[in-house]
Structure 1
Amino acid sequence: MQMDENTSRIVESLRQNPAAVQALFQSRDGQALLRMLTEGDRGASLQKAAQSASRGDAADMVRMMKQVMQSKEGAALVDRINKTVRK
């Protein structure tokens, strides 16, 4: 349950701060996250999730982040991003 709360917090924090989103996705960890989120469907799911999040519905984005965190590499990546976002 804590991962869900952390993921929601990250998504909400980024949604409220577009400059943080840009900085995140220019970072090495951000690029790695983008690769993980766009695997398989060339980013179609990520685009849909981002559109929903921009309207205040972060459920798809949270689901995608939970999927990323199922792998050891993904969980470590999200942990590093979470620490960066909190700064």
Structure 2
Amino acid sequence: MNLETLIEEGEKVKASNTKQSSRGGSYISGEEYEKWIAKSIIFLEDNEEEFSSFLIEKFKRASEQAVGNSVRHYNTMIGILKALHETE
């Protein structure tokens, strides 16, 4: 597993698990989303010596509120993965 794979997976998960809220917004939920978040955290922790601890913690904080809430949490997580990938 690598950052590129996690980014690609995240984009697929978002595309297939985004739902519209009755209040007009959208959110992401489902087992695939939970699994992608967990895999991402495992990868970041396994490679913590390579990445900013601040960004790893920011990813984790976003993940705590991500499932069933607005896509802004997803945007934070995918943004962190993309930034880390671009600066590798």
Tell whether the structures are fold-level matches, with TM greater than 0.5: no
In the superposition, the TM-score normalised over structure 1's length comes to: 0.42
Q: Which has the larger radius of gyration?
A: 2
In the superposition, the TM-score normalised over structure 2's length comes to: 0.42
Which of the pair is proportionally richer in strand? 2
Which of the pair is proportionally richer in helix? 1
